[in-house]
Structure 1
Amino acid sequence: MSSHNDSSRPAESLTVTVRVREDGICVVTVAGAVDLLTGPRLQAAVREALLGSSAVSVVDLTDVSFFGSHGVQVLAEAVRVAHRLREPLRLVVDGNRPVIRPIQLTGLDRMLALYHSLDDAIAGTGRIPPGSA
């Protein structure tokens, strides 16, 4: 008999850092697991970036180890907010399959600007075409 218990993963397994660069670009750096317990922290940081930034908002997800449905919901809402504000939202995913796969499965890769590196996202160059990550 096997039991599925997420209690082995601590509730505080997500680190989120928000910083505004000198050029006005807001970078949200995320590391760890995005799930039911940690999704609200990611949501608050992304909203802060979108609502407080006068330039571009970049969310760096390269160090995310798990990206559940709550993370997808956060990104879907972020897309709506960014569109309404007409603010660019760029995501750094690199080759991170735990992040890219849910984004592709939900079709969010067609609505999000995905990049391989933070430098590319900041410059707005080298965008990953939908379906190719």
Structure 2
Amino acid sequence: MTERTTRPLTTIDVDGGIPLVRVSGSLDAAAQRPVAAELDTVFDTRPGAIVLDLSDVDFMGSAGIALLINTRHRAARLGIPFAVVAGNHRVLRPLRMSQVDTVLPLHPTVPAAVAAVRLAST
């Protein structure tokens, strides 16, 4: 298992090399840039799938929502299955209020998200 850490951001390879990018704390304008840079690095490796884990995010701002939408579009353009772990109300509430929850592949747990991208990549 490979791990890159820049707290509050961690990327590990799970389930046969699927990158799991974990974000904790706030996902707002200040945090958006390092997360976007980490996702750029992950996309550059041309992975078979990507999972973004927001389980430990305690605040989701509009910049974070924009990041999720842009990441979903980029993954779709590149044909890379993408899933978001969003099981807490601090993340789900702003996504539901902005109706972004209807266009993102949201899953309540990491195993559920990994299973979804694994299925989509077969």
**Contact 1:27 1:49 (C-alpha < 8 Å) held by counterparts:** no
Take 2:55 and 2:28, find their aligned partners in 1: how far apart are those partners? 16
Q: How many correspondences in the alignment?
A: 111
1:121 pairs with 92, 98, 113, which one? 113
Calculate percent identity across the aligned residue pairs. 29
SS, match of residue 112 in structure 1? coil
**Contact 1:20 1:27 (C-alpha < 8 Å) held by counterparts:** yes
**1:27 aligned residue:** 20
1:104 pairs with 92, 96, 102, which one? 96
**1:55 aligned residue:** 48
Q: CA deviation at 1:98?
A: 1.5
Alignment gaps of 5+ in structure 2: 1-6, 118-122
Task: Looking at secondary structure, tell me which structure has more helix per residue.
Answer: 2
**Contact 1:34 1:67 (C-alpha < 8 Å) held by counterparts:** yes
2:8 pairs with 4, 11, 15, which one? 15
SS, match of residue 55 in structure 1? coil
**Contact 2:69 2:104 (C-alpha < 8 Å) held by counterparts:** no
TM value normalised by structure 2: 0.81
Take 1:118 and 1:74, find their aligned partners in 2: how far apart are those partners? 19
1:42 aligns with 2:31: no
Where relative contact order (Cα < 8 A, 6+ residues apart) is larger, the structure is: 2
SS, match of residue 32 in structure 1? strand
TM value normalised by structure 1: 0.75
**2:80 aligned residue:** 87
